Every structure is written in structure tokens, then in C-alpha cells.
């Protein structure tokens, strides 16, 4: 199939582009700069010029495409996330840009849109299992994600398929994991919320194959990740990875400084990905969290 990817040079995008190419698909990737274009060529795909905030330019690059995959985000790393304006562009990517993608795909006659989403949309469920049928909780933080999802759901219908991938929190060889490893090594807190709460994770090794599997999934919402883990096990894993005696948790002062953006990260979410597995046959190569998830990040991080 001909697949057009936006966000193809990001944490999810790079493995997704590689997986699509390895499966034999014809892949164009939206390039926003010369540097991005060079990276795309290095991945083996074709860079194409367009703007997620310009519908006409998207219609042009979507012409003849079978699938549009939108993975564009701009998530601030580390303590920068506490600044009020740090999320402004990411929120626009979740709302206006997704609306443009869906509108352009409809106009260009594209039959499938795959959109990246996040699993912390769900309301806190304590120790109960969470599936795609469970309610989400809308706050100022989660609203942009929910708005983006609604645009894809409106696009779907008739011959058009809209697939939403609610990924768990990403760990592996990525900037945010490296930030938290450095924090743990320097004795700073890495845990957010109750130690006994559940958290939903996905390893970077499993991102690309999930996007590839979405090319054949029926329209709908899918949770994508490994088996859920208690937050205390995650924090202990960070500590073990860097040789620290124990890991700490953000206290009330730091949580107040971080503001409302941190609240979804505190929810207890024992999320199941069984529906996605059943519908597509996808299987994570990292099905359960352990400290070895950090090996690649440690190898590529200087002076952790």
C-alpha cells in the first residue's frame, strides 16, 4: 500500500516507518525541514513537503494514498513540561492538525487513517481492568487528545476506516526515558502518584509493529502496550537500572508546580491490550516490564 506518514521522525515515527518499509509498503513521510528530509531519506522513505496546518498541502500529498498515519506530537521532556506554554504546540497538533488530517484524507479519497493517541485518557479505575469500553475522563489536559480522537471517529464510516492507537507511556530508547534515568541516578524523584497504582507501558521496540498492525485493524479504538505494572515496580526498575538504592516519588510541592498536566499520570490504569491483539495478531516483543527495558537508553546516554 501507499502510506503517507506525519510525525515520521519522532519516537513512534521512526520505528513505524522502518516497520512499514520492511513489510514492503510504499512510504512517504512529511518533512518539515531539510534536517528531517535527510533523516527520512536515511530511513529509506521519501520526504514530501506539506504543513499539518495547511489542508490544501495535505490533500496534495495524500493524493493516491491508501493509508494516512498521523504520529505528530511535540511532548516536552522532563521538568520543562511544568511550564504553562510548554504544551501549546502539542495541543494544536492533537486538535487542529488532526482535524486537518481527517479533512484532507476525506477530500483525497484516502480509505484509512491511523492516529496515535494515549491511554491515560481513561478515568482512574483502581485495581479494575480497563478495556476500550471503559469511560474516559476529560480534563483540560486530556481534552486535546479526546478532540483529536473525535475527528478520526467522524472521518470513519462507509468505505473509510479510522483507527486510534491508545499507546501506554513509552519507555525504551527515547529522550524521556533517558531524562528519568538521569533523574534516578541523581537521586531525584521519578515516581508520580501512588506506589500501588497501576500504570500502562509500551516499549519503543513495539511501537513500529503496532502501527503496521493497524493497517489491517477494523475501525475503532485500541489499547496498545505491555502487561500493566504497579508503579512501585516501575520506580524500583529505574533505581535498579542506575544502581540506586531506591527511587523516590514526586511530593505535593512538585506536583503543584507541575500543575494539572501531571494529573493523568497519577491515575491507576490496569489497561488490557487484548482487543488489539485479538483483532490484529500483534504481539509485543516486550510483553512485561523489567529493568532490561532500559538497556538501550543506558547504552546511549552519556554519564547517566
Per-residue confidence in pLDDT tens, the chain, 304 aa: 999 999 999 999 999 999 999 999 999 999 989 999 999 999 999 999 999 999 999 999 999 999 999 999 988 877 666 666 778 999 999 999 999 999 999 999 999 999 999 999 999 999 999 999 999 999 999 999 999 999 999 999 999 999 999 999 999 999 999 999 999 999 999 998 899 999 999 999 999 999 999 999 999 999 999 999 999 999 999 999 999 988 888 777 666 666 678 889 999 999 999 999 999 999 999 999 999 999 999 987 544 4
DSSP state, residue 259: G
Q: Which residues, other chains included, contact 31 with Cβ-Cβ below 8 Å and sequence gap of 6+? A: 9, 37, 40, 47, 48, 49
CB neighbour list of residue 298: distance below 8 Å, 6 or more residues apart: 181, 241, 242, 304
Q: Which CATH number describes the domain made up of 2-300?
A: 3.40.50.720
Reference 19, options 118, 145, 132, 114; nearest CA is: 114
Q: Quickly list DSSP for 180-239.
A: HHHHHHTT---B-S-TTSEE-EEEGGGHHHHHHHHTTSPSEEEEE-S--EEHHHHHHHHH
Q: pTM to 2 decimals?
A: 0.95
Structural domain spans, the chain: 2-300
Report how far Cα 81 is from the mean position of its chain's Cα atoms. 16
| Closest residue by Cα to residue 168 from 72, 299, 264 | 264
Q: What are phi and psi of 71, to 5 degrees?
A: -120, 15
Amino acid at each position: 500500500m501507499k502510506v503517507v506518514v506525519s510525525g515520521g521522525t519522532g519516537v513512534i515515527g521512526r520505528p513505524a516507518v522502518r516497520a512499514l518499509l520492511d513489510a514492503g509498503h510504499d512510504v512517504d513521510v512529511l518533512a518539515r525541514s531539510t534536517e528531517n528530509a535527510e533523516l527520512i531519506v536515511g530511513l529509506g522513505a521519501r520526504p514530501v513537503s506539506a504543513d499539518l496546518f495547511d489542508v490544501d498541502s495535505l490533500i496534495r500529498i495524500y493524493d493516491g494514498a491508501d493509508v494516512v498515519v498521523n504520529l505528530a506530537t511535540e511532548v516536552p521532556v522532563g521538568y520543562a513540561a511544568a511550564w504553562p506554554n510548554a504544551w501549546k504546540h502539542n495541543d494544536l497538533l492533537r486538535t487542529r492538525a488532526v482535524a486537518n488530517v481527517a479533512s484532507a484524507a476525506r477530500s483525497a479519497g484516502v480509505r484509512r487513517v491511523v492516529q496515535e493517541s494515549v491511554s491515560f485518557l481513561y478515568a482512574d479505575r483502581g485495581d479494575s481492568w480497563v478495556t476500550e469500553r471503559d469511560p474516559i475522563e476529560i480534563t483540560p489536559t486530556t481534552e486535546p487528545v479526546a478532540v483529536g480522537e473525535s475527528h478520526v471517529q467522524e472521518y470513519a464510516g462507509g468505505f473509510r476506516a479510522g483507527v486510534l492507537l491508545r499507546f501506554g507511556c513509552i519507555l525504551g530508547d527515547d529522550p524521556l526515558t533517558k531524562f528519568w534515568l538521569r533523574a534516578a541516578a541523581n537521586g531525584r524523584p521519578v515516581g508520580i502518584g501512588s506506589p500501588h497504582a497501576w500504570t500502562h507501558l509500551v516499549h519503543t521496540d513495539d511501537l513500529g509493529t503496532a502501527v503496521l498492525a493497524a493497517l489491517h485493524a477494523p475501525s475503532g479504538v485500541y489499547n496498545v502496550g505491555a502487561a500493566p505494572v504497579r508503579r512501585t515496580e516501575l520506580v524500583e526498575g529505574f533505581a535498579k537500572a542506575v544502581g540506586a538504592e531506591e527511587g523516590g516519588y514526586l511530593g505535593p510541592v512538585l506536583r503543584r508546580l507541575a500543575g494539572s498536566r501531571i494529573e493523568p499520570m497519577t491515575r491507576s490504569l490496569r489497561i488490557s491490550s487484548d482487543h488489539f491483539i485479538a483483532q490484529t495478531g500483534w504481539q509485543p516483543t516486550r510483553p512485561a516490564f523489567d529493568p532490561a527495558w532500559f538497556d538501550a537508553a543506558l547504552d546511549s546516554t552519556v554519564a547517566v
